[in-house]
A and B are shown apart, each in its own frame.
Chain A
Amino acid sequence: MWFEQVLFFVAAIGALGGALGVVILRNPFYSVLALVAHLVALAMLFLLLHAEFIAAGQVVVYAGAVMVLYVFVVAYIGGSDEPLRPEGGAISTFGPLFAAAIAIELCIAMLGTGLEAVDSKGADIGAGFGSPAAIGELLLRKFLVAFEAASFLLLIAAVGAVVLARRRRGLEEVA
């Protein structure tokens, strides 16, 4: 039992540290790496919640595929230190206000619901919970329509990205 608790704190600190690093670090390459560390720590938290499939999916899809593209792009075009603050304007005035509003909202939400589960054992999980079979059952039987709608959404996004990239190239040829 103590092993799970140690792992929880390691993963939680890793997740928080990674998330802070994404925002605070000035070099975009290090920010991307902090995001990778954050995602891996999140996968560890999923493991603690008996969601092995989601943990593996998190690492394969986000840390392994999406973030590699980020690393690829940032390593090519980024690398220099970016100034932390923008040059004034509306963002620097309203940014902190909106951030504070979201922080207060999140605090209210967390105090309202999430903390009740602390110190209890949490929801009961049946046998096979979080296994590939159980998740496949949910995705392809119970939530089939939503699942297919999400895949169409991704397809539209991919096609849209191709169309936008094409148009950009056309403009360059004119100029």
Chain B
Amino acid sequence: MESTLVMIVKSIVIFAFILQIVPIILLAERKLLGRFQSRIGPNRVGPKGLLQPLADVFKLLSKEASAPATAVPWMMAIAPVISIVTAVATLAIIPFGPFDAWGGEFGLYGIDVPIALLYFFAFGSLGFYGLVLGGWASGSKYSFLGAMRAAAQLISYEVALGLSLLGVAMTAGSLSLVDIVEAQDGMWYVVPQFVGFCIFMVAGFAETARAPFDLPEGDAEIVGGYNTEYGGMRFGSFFMAEYIEVIVISAIAAACFLGGWHGPGPVALAPLWMFLKLMAGVFFFIWIRASLPRLRYDQLMSFGWKVLLPLATLNVLVTAFVLVAT
């Protein structure tokens, strides 16, 4: 059992980690997108453009938070908070190492709950109230359309996301992420659960509303979707929440399918392996964004319900049969 002091330190470390990693991922994304598109990317601020995120954040902080006359101001203010809080809360369950990795006094994770996967879904499903309320409260038709798209898209893909992880939970026999990672000592679940892994990644792209599923903020059709009327750091909060969700989805994928902290070398290196796998997931998100065009909205919905959901159900059924037979 861990003392209250350890829990407080852990909370601070999680927040510090996120606040440091998001600007780095932001810069990596802009640099990589540049390379993918045969450009150099941002290279003006600081050596090799390394200080670009600092400039971006300073710009966002110094901007005015304006709102249309038709908006509901208090709800507009609260929506980005919901997005950020729910995204950060999920990070508490990401395991970076076993309990005895560093000295045996504490586990390298925020909390080890027996219902970790459900916890992930609970905060994930609360998170899109941020998008929906933000879009609705803005009092503009583009924001409203973006919010409605977000609601329909997230509720459609959350089912497939849940079913894709059900196979993992059944194979490991637990909903706790720590148990799931420990069960992958011999073989990573990406091998027996390959279909589940593919479904999880596709549905994960839709859950984070990243390209090619970024319909809620499809800038060619509805300006900026739910964040059209947002400016300054409120927009920055939505932006940051999206990147935290990318980290969370990558981390869950790493923990559930890619063996989590398992890797060669001593056990003290566990957080390093977890971090590398997490960043590989983030890189994959950026790679896909640079490679695939945005889908049409009806394509998105029919793909989710007619292809992904039956496939996920089949995956669960086959996994269940295999587990019972062996």
| A binding-site residues for B, Cβ under 8 Å | 29, 33, 36, 40, 43, 52-53, 56-57, 59-60, 63-65, 68-69, 71-72, 75-76, 131-132
The interface bits of chain B over 115-146 (1 if a CB of A lies within 8 angstroms of the residue's CB, else 0) are 10011011011101100110010000000100
B126 and A63 contacting across the interface, CB-CB below 8 Å: yes
Counting CB contacts under 8 A, is B155 at the interface?
Answer: yes
With an 8 A cutoff between CB atoms, is B282 at the interface?
A: no
Given A75-B144, A75-B147, A131-B114; A64-B125 close (CB under 8 Å): yes
B148 within 8 A of partner (CB) = yes
Looking at A36, A56, A57, A63, which has the most chain B CB atoms within 10 Å of its CB? Answer: A56
Which residues in A have their C-beta under 8 angstroms from that of B113? 52
A124 and B124 CA atoms in complex are apart in Å by 33
With most chain B CB atoms within 10 A of its CB, the pick from A57, A68, A72 is: A68
Report the minimum CB–CB distance from A16 to chain B (whole Å): 20
Interchain CB contact (< 8 A) of A56 among B118, B133, B151 = B118
Q: Is B125 within 8 A of A63, CB to CB? A: yes
Residue B175 is within 8 A (CB to CB) of chain A in the complex: yes
> Which A residue's beta carbon lies closest to that of B128?
A68
A36 near B122: Cβ-Cβ < 8 Å? no
**Chain B residues whose C-beta falls within 8 Å of the C-beta of A69 in the assembled complex:** 155
A56-B115, A65-B155 known; A72-B121 Cβ under 8 A: no
B115 touches A64 (CB 8 A): no
Chain A residues, CB < 8 A from B114? 52, 131-132
The listed residue (A40, A71, A132) touching B132 by CB distance below 8 A is A71
- Which residues of B have CB within 8 Å of A63? 122, 125-126
Q: Which residues of B contact A57 (CB under 8 A)?
A: 118
Interface residues of B in 143-170 (CB under 8 A from A): 144, 147-148, 151-152, 154-155, 158
Task: Determine the chain B residues whose CB is within 8 A of the CB of A132 once the complex forms.
Answer: 114-115, 118, 175
Measured CB to CB, the nearest residue on chain B to A79 is B136
The interface residues of chain A lying within 8 Å CB-to-CB of B121 are 56, 60, 64
Further pairs besides A33-B133, A72-B148: 7, Cβ < 8 Å: A29-B136, A56-B118, A64-B122, A64-B124, A64-B125, A69-B155, A132-B115
Contact partner, B122, options A29, A60, A68, A75, Cβ 8 Å: A60
In the complex the two chains form, what is the Cα distance from A76 to B144 in whole Å? Answer: 9
B126 touches A53 (CB 8 A): no
Measuring CB to CB, which residues of chain B are less than 8 angstroms from any residue of chain A? 113-115, 118-119, 121-122, 124-126, 128-129, 132-133, 136, 144, 147-148, 151-152, 154-155, 158, 175
CA distance A101 to B186 in the complex (A): 64
Pairwise interchain contact A52-B148, C-beta atoms closer than 8 A: no
Can you spell out 18 A-B residue pairs with CB atoms less than 8 angstroms apart?
A: A33-B133, A43-B122, A56-B121, A57-B118, A59-B122, A59-B125, A60-B118, A64-B121, A64-B126, A65-B125, A65-B155, A68-B151, A68-B155, A69-B155, A71-B151, A72-B152, A75-B136, A132-B175
Closest-by-CB residue of A relative to B125 is A64
Q: How far is the CA of A53 from the CA of B169 in the complex (A)?
A: 15
List of A residues within 8 angstroms of B132 by Cβ: 68, 71, 75
Query: Which of A36, A75, A131 has the most chain B CB within a 10 Å cutoff?
Result: A75
Query: Chain B's nearest CB lies how many Å from the CB of A149?
Result: 22
Closest Cβ–Cβ distance, residue A57 to chain B (whole Å): 7
In the complex, how many angstroms separate the beta carbon of A172 from the nearest chain B beta carbon?
A: 22
- Of the candidates A52, A60, A75, the one having the most CB atoms from chain B within 10 angstroms of its own CB is A60
The answer on a CB contact under 8 Å between A56 and B125 is no
Instruction: Report whether A56 and B122 are in contact in the complex, using a CB–CB cutoff of 8 Å.
Output: yes
Q: Which residue of B lies closest to A29 (CB)?
A: B136
B154 partner residues in chain A, CB cutoff 8 A: 68
Pick the contact of A53 from B118, B136, B158 — CB < 8 Å? B118
| Assembled-state Cα–Cα distance A72/B133 (Å) | 11
Question: In the complex, what distance in Å separates the CA atom of A80 from the CA atom of B154?
Answer: 26
| Other-chain contact of A60, B125, B133, B152 (Cβ < 8 Å) | B125
- Chain B proximity of A50: nearest CB distance (Å): 11
Closest Cβ neighbor of A58 among chain B residues? B122
Query: CA–CA, A25 to B119, complex, Å?
Result: 31
For residue B175, which residue of chain A has the nearest CB? A132
Nearest-Cβ distance from residue A44 to partner chain B, whole angstroms: 12
Q: Would you give the shortest CB distance from B155 to chain A, in whole angstroms?
A: 5
A72 to B116, CA, bound (A): 28
Residue in chain B with minimal CB distance to A56? B118
Q: Verify A76–B148 contact, CB threshold 8 A.
A: yes
Alpha-carbon gap, A60 to B115, bound state (A): 12
